[in-house]
Amino acid sequence: MLTLIGIAIIALAEWLFDYKAVGGSTNWSIFYFASIYLSVALISVDLFIRASKSIKYTGMAFAIFFVVLAIYELTFINVPFDDYIVSVNENKLRIITTGLMCIALLFINLLAWGKRLWKT
């Protein structure tokens, strides 16, 4: 059910951003990206609820990652558009969270493969 809600939010955000948004508006861009990030986090939480153990950890890692990105986007409300674009794309927080996400996924993957290899 969370997956369907996430997909509906993505479709609504796409429609609103394409047909109702003002070009070059910081707040509309923040709305769009924060909605997409939170929708993907909802889909990841649904994966966490339904899947096997290693997939659950992967889903939770993605959910935390996208919630952090959404919170980061919300910190730029009412910032001039040019400053927003530069700040969002050139920030150490995004690089650090992406690096931590890669390390977490590698660790989860190695644990899953290690358990499979020890069973045989």
* pLDDT range class, residue 120, cuts 50, 70, 90: low
State residue 5's pLDDT score: 95
Burial grade of 34 (CB within 10 A; 0-12, 13-18, 19 or more): buried
Give the 3-state secondary structure of residue 77: coil
Burial grade of 40 (CB within 10 A; 0-12, 13-18, 19 or more): buried
Query: Token match 């920030």: residue?
Result: 91
Tokens of 12: 């609504």
- Per DSSP, helices labelled H in the chain are 2-19, 26-50, 53-74, 81-89, 92-119
* Chain-centroid distance, C-alpha 106: 18
Whether the per-residue pLDDT at 47 is higher than 90: the answer is: no
State residue 8's pLDDT score: 96
